[in-house]
Amino acid sequence: MTPKLLSKLNKMFGDALGRAPVEYGDQPNYKWSQGKDLTFPMRVDRDFTKSNSGLWLPHNKYKVFSQLRDEEDQRRWMVALWKEPPSYDEWVRLYSTEIPYPTKGIYYVTSEMLRPGIEPTDEITQYLIGKIINHKGLTTTNFKNEMEEEQNCAERRKDELMDNILSDILPSHDAIPGKRGGCVTYGGI
């Protein structure tokens, strides 16, 4: 993957799906990233240093962790989603100094990962843009209706399967008495 191609593909995401506000670096809301690049720092230790005035000041030590645990996933290309951080005060309330405040926002892993060894292309990017646009347009009601329709289709398929099985085993199970054609009836059995 060349930097020029990566920039082009991420520009496609930005043009279609929006960009972060300028104060956050004008980066695309979605972008291609390798798993190893999706990290966050977390405090692992706290130390104290003596200032020139003689005060002991806390000093946090951070370690950078991958958002993905699996080493194979860290080598994959995936779509990352940018999120705006809450206000600084809200961040400190939630995380104290465990995680430093992300002044430019933070990219998070999404479920859109390519298989190992596959690199992003224009076609894959366009496909995922369409998929994201369709998914973003879903409301809770749309999602509920889609799930109900899926369940209804599954029930219809199950009913058709049972009907086919019974037709093979009991050829007369759906026969109308006295009607001719299509079914074998065993009178008097």
Count of Cβ atoms closer than 10 Å to residue 172 Cβ: 13
What are the backbone dihedrals phi and psi of residue 92, each rounded to the nearest 5 degrees, phi first? -65, -40
Token digits for 6?
Answer: 């990566």
Task: Show the CA angle centred on residue 9, arms to residues 111 and 74, nearest 5°.
Answer: 40
Mean pLDDT of the 3-16 span: 93
Q: Give tens-digit pLDDT for 161-188.
A: 887 776 666 655 555 665 555 555 555 5
> What per-residue confidence (pLDDT) applies to 154?
83
Q: Which of 112, 118, 115 is nearest to 130 (CA)?
A: 112
% the chain with pLDDT above 90 = 26
Pick from 184, 77, 161: nearest CA to 121: 77
Taking the domains of the chain in order of start, what are their residue ranges?
3-118
- Dist CA 168 CA 135 (whole Å): 42
The answer, yes or no, to whether residue 69 has pLDDT greater than 70, is yes
Query: What pLDDT, on the 0 to 100 scale, is given for residue 178?
Result: 59
Q: Which two tokens stand for residue 53?
A: 């005035």
For residue 142, report the phi and psi dihedrals to the nearest 5 degrees. Answer: -60, -45
Using the predicted structure, report yes or no on whether residue 53 has a pLDDT greater than 60: yes
Q: Give me the pLDDT at residue 6, please.
A: 93
pLDDT at 138 over 90: no
Instruction: Please give the average per-residue pLDDT across 71-83, as a whole number.
Output: 88
pLDDT in tens, 86-134: 899 998 999 888 888 888 888 998 889 999 889 999 999 999 999 888 8
Q: How many Å from the N-terminal Cα to the C-terminal Cα in the chain?
A: 74
